[in-house]
Structure 1
Amino acid sequence: MDQEKLVNDILTALGRVIDPELGIDILNLGLIYDVEINEHTALVKMTLTTMGCPLSDILEADIKKEITQIEGIDDCQVKIVWYPVWTADKISEAGKRALGLVR
């Protein structure tokens, strides 16, 4: 299967994973740092808005659920990274509008 298509499908799936606290998808929040595919396994490198975020298990489960539904992906691993540190400037324009940070 085409790697580029798989990455695009994964990014689309990540756009369906909503941060329960903020009500915005994790892609527009800027939490996703990288997506890699090795054979039929996706590796998602992401961060959280704060260390010790109580929602990390929920987000990880939602990510795995969405991504393993993609044809050609049998497994998904989520790696939480802390560098670069997440800041609000990583939020997309659409995310900022949704949060009421810009008009």
Structure 2
Amino acid sequence: MTESTQPLEGTPLIAPSTTDHPLYEAVTDACRTVYDPEIPVNIYELGLIYTIEISEENDVRILMTLTAPGCPVAGDMPGWVADAVEPLPGVRKVDVDLTWEPPWGMDMMSDEARLELGFL
């Protein structure tokens, strides 16, 4: 990395979500209905949802990752997330983008996910 492309010190690797938007809880609940077929925990608790941005016009942009780049459902899971969020009352449009930066790690799982998978 050149100096100009390095994030500023203190800049988060994952952009913050729009947690103060009235639709935020409904969107996170919708994300909790999507499961990785190989892991019996929803993708939100697994930490695969990095950022939920909701505009004033109620357009939703979700930045997510997968447990591994070779995940067999890599091409399908963003569509599953969009299908879960789009029907919510008030949502105008949904875009789901996949990223590999930062890479997912087990430390991104919630305590609930760790407990469910026997890591706690």
Equivalent of 1:7 in 11, 24, 29:
24
Gaps of 5+ in 1: none
Equivalences, count: 100
| RMSD across aligned positions (CA) | 1.4
User: Which structure has greater helix proportion?
Assistant: 1
Partner of residue 76, structure 1:
94
Preserved contact between residue 40 and residue 72 of structure 1 (Cα < 8 Å): yes
Equivalent of 1:27 in 41, 44, 53:
44
Partner of residue 17, structure 1:
34
Preserved contact between residue 64 and residue 75 of structure 1 (Cα < 8 Å): no
Gaps of 5+ in 2: 1-19
TM-score by length of 2: 0.76
Partner of residue 103, structure 2:
85
Cα distance between partner residues in 2 of 1:34 and 1:70: 18
Higher mean C-alpha displacement, 55-64 vs 13-22: 55-64
Give the partner amino acid of 1:25: N
TM-score by length of 1: 0.88
| Greater RCO (Cα-Cα under 8 Å, separation 6 or more) | 1
